[in-house]
């Protein structure tokens, strides 16, 4: 089965997660991100999760996104599970060395998380603690492979045995919109070789560049070896897209800016939803795209409108908690 490409370790008889089950079934998948929260009250996470229950298939618990501290992604993931959402737990390499990565991956699995996604992470210089010491002990490829060692070899990186290995599905991210463009599909392939089984991409605004990236990734065989979710940002204001344009690694097309600026501010969210829906419809037709990963800033309502307008509701229910062998 596709879930076990590094041959051998265990024969997979069941999907590793609800997300995995949907991937295997070939259905068009929708994932999103939990709005970050900054409080000690668990109710805040529950409130952030509530609008997404049953509307998307899995939701990222982000790891200090944009290099700003927020509630721990492990705690958020656990609270999401309690709220009825399947989390995808992010692991960045900025705030954790190889010891902390492993203990937290194990902890995430023990708390019931069945999907993780590994990434480098924004640099501390992009956040509100630029004076911090970033770690970058290992990179995202190493984190993927470490997760794979724990799951498939049943040991820590050191070789020391785990008493019960995690069974999670392992994902990575890729940005088709940052140089060197020619290397990006090969880098995707490299992430798959390092252990990634699914991919979430950076936000697609430049559909043509995405098409070229997907074409070359499909030619390399990536789409047969991993499920690729295209990232889509749902803009809610012209200000937001103009801000996004300044973020390194995000390419916002002039057309999107023009469309957002052409309407008065009270109708900009409607226009943003239309833009996101347009992009999603093109992505749906693109060979190799297994689904979409919707992002927004404080825009759950806008995300839900996109899911609805795409005709992707209702989402398949999470039945029994999926257990992998």
User: Where does this chain bind another protein (CB under 8 A)?
Assistant: 5-8, 93-94, 98, 119-120, 122-123, 125-126, 134, 136-142, 145-146, 148-150, 152-153, 155-159, 173-175, 178-180, 182-183, 186-187, 189-190, 193-194, 202, 248-249, 251
The distance of closest approach from Cβ of residue 185 to another protein in the complex, given in angstroms and rounded to an integer, is 11
The distance of closest approach from Cβ of residue 307 to another protein in the complex, given in angstroms and rounded to an integer, is 25
List Cβ neighbours of 217 (8 Å cut-off, separation of 6 or more).
185, 188, 189, 223, 228, 288
Dist CA 8 CA 97 (whole Å): 28
Q: Which is nearer to another protein, 251 or 271 (CB)?
A: 251
Q: Which is nearer to another protein, 8 or 311 (CB)?
A: 8
Q: Which is nearer to another protein, 3 or 86 (CB)?
A: 3
Dist CA 167 CA 267 (whole Å): 45
Q: Which is nearer to another protein, 153 or 309 (CB)?
A: 153
Q: Indicate the DSSP class of residue 2.
A: T
The distance of closest approach from Cβ of residue 278 to another protein in the complex, given in angstroms and rounded to an integer, is 23
The distance of closest approach from Cβ of residue 242 to another protein in the complex, given in angstroms and rounded to an integer, is 16
Q: Indicate the DSSP class of residue 87.
A: E
Question: What is the DSSP track for 270-305?
Answer: HHHHHHHHHHHHHHHTSTTEEEEEEE-SS-HHHHHH
Q: Which is nearer to another protein, 57 or 189 (CB)?
A: 189
Dist CA 125 CA 274 (whole Å): 34
Dist CA 223 CA 111 (whole Å): 30
Distances (CA, A) of 10 to 1, 14, 108: 11, 11, 21
The distance of closest approach from Cβ of residue 187 to another protein in the complex, given in angstroms and rounded to an integer, is 5
Contact 266, 204 (CB under 8 A): no
Contact 262, 309 (CB under 8 A): no
Indicate the SS3 state at residue 33. strand
Q: Which is nearer to another protein, 55 or 184 (CB)?
A: 184
Q: Which is nearer to another protein, 65 or 112 (CB)?
A: 65
How many Cβ atoms from other residues are within 10 Å of residue 229's Cβ?
29
The distance of closest approach from Cβ of residue 175 to another protein in the complex, given in angstroms and rounded to an integer, is 3
The distance of closest approach from Cβ of residue 194 to another protein in the complex, given in angstroms and rounded to an integer, is 5
């Amino acid at each position: 089965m596709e879930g076990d490409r590094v041959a051998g370790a265990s024969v997979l008889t069941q999907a590793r997660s609800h997300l995995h089950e949907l991937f295997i079934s070939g259905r068009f998948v929708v994932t999103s991100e939990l709005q970050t929260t900054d409080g000690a009250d668990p109710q805040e996470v529950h409130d952030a999760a509530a609008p997404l229950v049953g509307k998307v298939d899995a939701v990222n618990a982000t790891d200090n996104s944009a290099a700003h501290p927020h509630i721990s992604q492990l705690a958020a993931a656990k609270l999401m599970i309690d709220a009825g959402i399947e989390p995808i737990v992010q692991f960045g390499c900025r705030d954790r060395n190889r010891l902390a990565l492993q203990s937290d991956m194990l902890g995430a699995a023990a708390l019931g998380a069945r999907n993780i996604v590994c990434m480098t992470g924004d640099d501390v210089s992009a956040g509100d603690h630029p004076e911090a010491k970033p770690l970058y002990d290992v990179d995202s490829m190493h984190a993927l492979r470490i997760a794979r060692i724990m799951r498939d070899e049943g040991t820590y990186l050191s070789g020391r045995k785990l008493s019960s290995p995690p069974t999670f599905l392992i994902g990575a991210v890729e940005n088709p919109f940052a140089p060197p463009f020619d290397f990006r599909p090969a880098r995707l392939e490299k992430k798959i070789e390092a252990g990634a089984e699914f991919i979430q991409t950076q936000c697609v605004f430049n559909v043509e560049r995405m098409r070229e990236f997907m074409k070359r990734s499909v030619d390399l065989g990536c789409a047969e070896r991993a499920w690729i979710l295209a990232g889509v940002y749902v803009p809610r204001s012209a200000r937001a897209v103009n801000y996004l344009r300044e973020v390194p690694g995000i390419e916002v097309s002039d057309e999107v800016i023009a469309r957002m600026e052409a309407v008065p501010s009270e109708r900009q969210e409607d226009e943003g939803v239309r833009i996101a829906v347009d992009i999603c419809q093109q992505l749906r037709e693109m060979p190799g795209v297994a689904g979409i990963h919707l992002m927004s800033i404080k825009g759950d309502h806008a995300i839900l409108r996109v899911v609805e307008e795409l005709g992707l509701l209702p989402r398949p229910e999470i039945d029994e908690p999926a257990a992998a062998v």
